[in-house]
Amino acid sequence: MPLVIEKDVETRLKKRVEDLGGKCIKFNAISEGGIPDRIVILPPGQVAFVELKRPRGGRLSPIQKYQIEKLRSLGCVVEVVKNYDDIESLLKSMT
């Protein structure tokens, strides 16, 4: 089985979201570090922030942990996605 890397997971996430009629927006917060990589929007208005990590050994930095907890404390859905199963779990929870 070929090695799955973070980019593969990101590509699959984008495709699956688009297949469901949603948007998977790359989020580049230049002014603030540690913000999740993607914003997933599915009909009818379901929104989640997604931090992508490589399947093997991918770890959150302290600033990423802080930002995730801050967003969650504001009532946002934030998920860390490392593999294809994580994608399916996220999408199931949003539909």
> What is the amino acid identity at position 7?
K
Phi/psi of residue 19, nearest 5 degrees: -60, -30
Determine the pLDDT at residue 2: 64
For residue 3, the model assigns a pLDDT of 74
- Please say whether the beta carbons of 19 and 11 come within 8 A: no
**pLDDT in single tens digits along all 95 residues of the chain:** 567 788 889 999 999 999 999 999 998 877 888 999 999 999 999 999 999 998 887 899 999 999 999 999 999 999 999 999 999 999 999 98
**pTM of the predicted protein model:** 0.90
